[in-house]
Amino acid sequence: MKIIFKRETAYETVFLLLVSFIILSCNRSRNNPGWDYFPDMFYSTAYETNSRNPEFKDGMTMRVPSAGTIPRGFTPFEYTIDPESRIKAGKELVNPISRTDESIQRGETVYSTFCIGCHGIRGEGDGRLYKSGLYPVKPRSLISETAGKLRDGEIYHSITLGFGAMGAHGSQVRADDRWMLVIYIRELQGKVMGITDIKEGENK
Ligand code: HEC
């Protein structure tokens, strides 16, 4: 007996097999990836970073650093916004960055980015934001006698946490850049107030 397959029948069979395969591959809940193909490394034996962990009391896999640890190169800044704390910062903090052409230049760049709008090109408190009326509070002069008497740490404190009506810049300006701002402010003061022999680490 000879079985004759018609070409059309063969096409139909392949087509039907294909359609049923596609339909069978569908997954109603979509929460299951279906069959794994080479699952050797798919399932981790270690706990995933954000998964629950029965080994620890708090049930978290990701651990918090031990109390008192700080990242390498990070200096803790444990001051609050009140005036007493600013005075304390002035007494305790020492500018870790030396006054060099590079640090002055970097200070100028950062000043031009973050401060110039309010404090003005020469630090007189006459920035465009204030003069145009967009910002209503008169920014303090950074080259006044009062500002000249501020200690490095007090200026650093004001930049970091803000001062009076001025907002904090600690989250926008890196710590070393804030110290270079202090150096640049001294530079501005020197130009205007004639304090030219500022020695490294000296506060006034
Ligand atoms: C949006 C405007 C604005 C910006 C931007 C701004 N300041 Fe100020 N700043 C002020 C105002 C206003 C005051 C005075 C606040 C007060 O008297 O309540 C002030 C005060 C200060 C003081 C305190 C001066 C003193 O006599 O004690 C310092 C230091 C200072 N600013 C530095 C900076 C530096 C550095 C930057 C850039 C990182 C900066 N400010 C950015 C508005 C601004």
Residue 20 carries which side chain, given as an amino acid letter? Answer: S
Of 186, 157, 175, the closest CA to residue 84 belongs to: 157
CA atoms lying within 13 Å on the CB side of residue 57: 0
Q: Is the CB of 169 under 6 A from ligand 1?
A: yes
Residue 141 near ligand 1, beta carbon < 6 Å: no
Q: What is the pLDDT of residues 124-156, one digit of tens each?
A: 999 999 999 999 999 999 999 999 999 999 999
Q: Which residue is associated with the tokens 């591959």?
A: 25
- What pLDDT band is residue 2 in, cutting at 50, 70 and 90? low
Closest by alpha carbon to 98, among 197, 179, 193, 186?
179
User: Sorting pLDDT into bands at 50, 70 and 90, what band is 73?
Assistant: confident
Pocket test for ligand 1, best of 95, 110, 114, 118 (most atoms within 8 A of CB): 118
Q: What is the mean pLDDT of residues 95-107?
A: 96
Question: Is the CB of 164 inside a 6 Å radius of any atom of ligand 1?
Answer: yes
pLDDT digits (tens, 9 = 90+) for 165-203: 999 999 999 999 999 999 999 999 998 776 544 444 444
CA distance 25 to 136: 66
**Mean pLDDT of the chain, nearest integer:** 89
